[in-house]
Structure 1
Amino acid sequence: MVIELSLSGFAAIVLAGGQGSRLGGVDKASIEVGGRTLLEYALDAVMDAGEVVVVGHQVPTDRPVTFVREEPRFGGPAAGLLTGRDALLRTFPTLAVLAVDMPRLTATTFRRLHEAAVGHEGAILTDPEGRRQLAFVVETARLDAVRPDLEGQHGMSVRALLADVDLVEVTPRGDEGRDIDTWTDLRDAAPDLPDPDGP
């Protein structure tokens, strides 16, 4: 089965449960840039989603989202993704997945990913050097088919989880493929963050 274009038929999972070790253990979701938290930027990027689950600490927000903690705790992004998928109240044809530390992602990014995924099992954003980022859409049934058991999720990378999934790679526009891993990244982020009132 492959993805058909439907921007109303997807749920979103925001991965916000990392340890932020290069930022001194700070919870990335609550970090403010330009007066807004990284979580707010992430939620803006998936505003088209029918349901949103945030995997990580609960952060104040007026958005209708569900917060869960990954299982196993600090088990890595694959464990977080699958925990988020299990927390969804409804089943959607596709899932949009993003890391909370990519504030340059926008709703337009995920529309492009959905368009690119048509005829495939998903689509994933790369950085300018072609490395796959934690920003992708994937067919829900295909993700369910490749998931390991609970023990196998611990420490698994998303790359390994999706190794057998047909993901088309999508080149970033501008800096949308950049993430925030260090204080330098954070310092440099504010000037080019997306306008919350923009497209």
Structure 2
Amino acid sequence: MAEFAAVVLAGGRARRLGGVDKLLLPIAGRTLLDRTLDAVAAADPLVVVGPRRTTARPVRWTAEDPPGGGPLAGLQAGLARLPLEARVVAVLAGDHPHLTPATITRLLDALRAAPEAAGAVLSDSGERLQWLVGVWRAGALREAMPADVRNRPLRAVLAPLAPLTVPAIEAEASDVDTPEDLRRADPTSE
């Protein structure tokens, strides 16, 4: 088993992008999902929560219950696919085009340096925590999971764990939710 596992949340309806499967949108020749998976290529296992898609690397697929139950339901489903011996897990949304293995390494290093911390999350330039770009102690996540996760905000469950904050470098924290986000992520696409 690798130093860490990963759960990538790849559900959602992409309403602000007209309902397209945004995770299959290309950014500099790679899909959004593959770019996110590249950032956690060292993870084992690598679990993706959402509809099955073609990916450049092998992953374990699962789905949240109920379907469309939100990110917290997705996280719960992803955690259920990890072996109990998994100690650290990267938790990412699948729509972050500028994440790299170096991003994940910085988060892992921060967590390693603070043994009492439950997790470490990226913060954007406005110092807002990016709850879906972080690494966590798997036990802390499992203990924090409420019995009913349907449509509950992820932040409401993760914030009480008081994660460490790791400032983003350049566009690392950006995601793709709108056509403008897509243009910013890949200016060559126009």
TM-score (norm 1): 0.87
Look up the match of 2:123: 126
Aligned length: 184
Distance 2:149 2:62 in 1: 16
Shift of 1:62: 3.9
TM-score (norm 2): 0.91
Distance 1:33 1:18, change over 3 A: same
Shift of 1:90: 5.5
2:137 paired with 1:154: no
**1:28/1:100 contact within 8 Å kept:** no
Query: What per-residue deviation string (whole Å, max 9, x for no partner) do you get for residues 79-120 of structure 1?
Result: 111111112256311110111111101111010001111321
2:108 paired with 1:111: no
Equivalent pairs: percent with the same residue? 43
**2:79/2:142 contact within 8 Å kept:** no
Shift of 1:35: 1.8
Task: Describe the SS at the equivalent of 2:106.
Answer: helix
Look up the match of 1:26: 20
**1:55/1:70 contact within 8 Å kept:** yes
2:43 paired with 1:49: yes
AA of the residue aligned to 1:73:
P
Task: Describe the SS at the equivalent of 1:155.
Answer: coil
2:67 pairs, out of 73, 82, 92, with: 73
AA of the residue aligned to 1:123:
A
1:82 pairs, out of 76, 92, 102, with: 76
AA of the residue aligned to 1:42:
T
Question: Any unmatched runs of 5+ in structure 2?
Answer: none
**1:105/1:177 contact within 8 Å kept:** yes
Look up the match of 1:173: 169
Look up the match of 2:135: 137
AA of the residue aligned to 2:35:
Y
AA of the residue aligned to 1:175:
A
**1:16/1:28 contact within 8 Å kept:** no
Task: Describe the SS at the equivalent of 1:123.
Answer: strand
Consecutive aligned runs of 4 or more in structure 1 exceeding 2 Å deviation: 88-91
Shift of 1:31: 1.3
Task: Describe the SS at the equivalent of 2:161.
Answer: coil
Distance 2:23 2:83 in 1: 23
Shift of 1:129: 0.4
